[in-house]
Amino acid sequence: MAREQLQVLNALDSAKTQWYHFTAIVVAGMGFFTDAYDLFCISLVTKLLGRIYYYEGPEKPGSLPSNVSAAINGVAFCGTLAGQLFFGWLGDKLGRKRVYGMTLMLMVICSIASGLSFGKEPKSVIATLCFFRFWLGFGIGGDYPLSATIMSEYANKKTRGGFIAAVFAMQGFGILAGGMVAIVVSAAFNAVYPAPAFEVNPVLSTVPQADYVWRIILMFGALPALLTYYWRMKMPETARYTALVAKNAKQAAADMSKVLQVEIEEEKVQQSETQRGNEFGLFSTQFLRRHGLHLVGTCTTWFLLDIAYYSQNLFQKDIFSAIGWIAEAKTMSAIEEVYKIARAQTLIALCSTVPGYWFTVALIDKIGRFSIQLMGFFFMTVFMFALAIPYHHWTMKGNHIGFVVMYSLTFFFSNFGPNATTFVVPAEIFPARLRSTCHGISAAAGKAGAMVGAFGFQFAENGIGVRNTLIILGAVNFLGMVFTFLVPESKGKSLEEMSGEAEEETTATTESALEAGHGVRTSV
């Protein structure tokens, strides 16, 4: 490119914000809405599943055994990790568009299927649920690298961070929707099928119709994904993939002109289809030298973040019960308990989770990814230790509101912080031919952290108590702050500048010119 990018890429970087950008945010973002809904709504119904399928007698309400609870919460993350690696790699091999529809349909089918069961016995119900939630996670996993890569490759240089963060911010609305759907469904069933509290009548406190409640909540996740399938299929392949990987700049210009109001002179596009060299692979020493530390940085920060983030999200119901914010299970009926857990989690999402995402969208292109991530990890560390060290104080009557406020602030600074930036940065700093793969690897490292959080918190809470578990999560957040220094700042730079592709083009063009010049001199 001789320090000038392909015309089509220049046009993308300098394009004004247009209606199609917002369309792309919604279409890509609805995948994340569904992702968050499906991954987090399970935490709303696990206590109900325990009451229905693991009745323990009149002494206390039934609850899921630790291993079953960990499996239900964690199996989707296993699928997500596999999906991120597989679809991330496939997105670089086949193109973003061709793979994008597969992930969405898999999510729709498995969302519906996870609400169905083969048999009525606890083992068959849980086995069916875990099987379909694994494949649901597999589809969700593909959405991470593809949505981030597609949005980064469509966006202009000035607002790219905000656009990618806006796609990810739909996750906040998905968490909020999960809580609201659970509130509406449980309130409706509670009104139609009223039941006494467990301590009044242990058997009648769980009405037979409660079995429909968790199924409806889980199956509702298919609806938003299904609604956006048509528009996702209509999206053209990204111009950067077509120009830099498929090496068809003319087609890239044609595709882009269909959706963005930019025009590129055809002869200039044809001239820009130059021979490209120096295309190192993922396992080459050149990639290791140029991007190795960057990949370590994106993987470790995402891994450490998700240990804390998913622990807090999936088990906040247990923490709220431990401090007394949610009443003891025996004082409620089964459906009433779903309602109160959903109400608590919806309040947290509304007051801290959703605002945190949109603070990032508004400020990421002003103060930068690095600063937001560092600040987020710092405050997550501070608030986690502030909750953990005087933990006994927070459990005393009258102090619950203070605990909930500080707990909410950890969510706010995770979303106005590393939860958003760890998603944005891997989509910006790697070459186009490896971008989806590297984002998938980084996201898979995050889901490995989520699995540690989902499985580990369950046993840590029972083994060492909530206070010590919160101290460990504080230390994890501090390590995330340290590893943030491995991640480069991409604010205001083009994707090709960050990935080094502009430099590759310069080198390749210069070498070609020297060879041509040498050939002319020798022929004379």
pLDDT for the residue 317: 63
Q: Which residues of 23-34 are buried (b: 16+ CB within 10 A; e: fewer)?
A: ebbebbbbbbbb
- What are the φ and ψ backbone dihedral angles of 199, each rounded to 5 degrees? -70, -20
Beta carbons of 345 and 46 less than 8 angstroms apart: no
Confidence category of residue 70, pLDDT binned at 50, 70, 90: confident
By the 10 Å C-beta count (0-12 exposed, 13-18 middle, 19+ buried), 199 is classed as: middle
Q: Domain residues of the chain, as ranges?
A: 19-261+285-506
Q: How far apart are CA 13 and CA 7, in angstroms?
A: 10
The residue-averaged pLDDT of 42-65 equals 87
Beta carbons of 129 and 72 less than 8 angstroms apart: yes
pLDDT for the residue 269: 46
Class of domain 19-261+285-506: mainly alpha
The pair of structure tokens assigned to 78 is 């296993």
Average pLDDT value for the chain: 83
Whether 272 shows a pLDDT value over 60: the answer reads: no
Q: How far apart are CA 25 and CA 150, in angstroms?
A: 10
Confidence category of residue 266, pLDDT binned at 50, 70, 90: very low
SS3 257: helix
Confidence category of residue 255, pLDDT binned at 50, 70, 90: confident
Element (H, E) at 406: helix 400-415
pLDDT for the residue 503: 63
Beta carbons of 206 and 58 less than 8 angstroms apart: no
pLDDT for the residue 187: 95
pLDDT for the residue 486: 94
pLDDT for the residue 142: 92
The pair of structure tokens assigned to 355 is 């605002």
Whether 504 shows a pLDDT value over 60: the answer reads: no
pLDDT for the residue 363: 93
- The secondary structure of residue 325, as a DSSP letter, is S
Beta carbons of 280 and 434 less than 8 angstroms apart: no
Whether 49 shows a pLDDT value over 80: the answer reads: yes
In the block, residue with structure tokens 């000038």: 4
Whether 2 shows a pLDDT value over 70: the answer reads: no
Beta carbons of 56 and 329 less than 8 angstroms apart: no
Whether 275 shows a pLDDT value over 50: the answer reads: no
Whether 333 shows a pLDDT value over 50: the answer reads: yes
Got the DSSP string for 85-122? Answer: HHHHHHHHHH-HHHHHHHHHHHHHHHHHHTT--SSSSH
Whether 463 shows a pLDDT value over 80: the answer reads: no
pLDDT for the residue 72: 87
Whether 322 shows a pLDDT value over 60: the answer reads: yes
The rounded percent of the chain whose pLDDT value lies above 70 is: 87
Confidence category of residue 263, pLDDT binned at 50, 70, 90: low
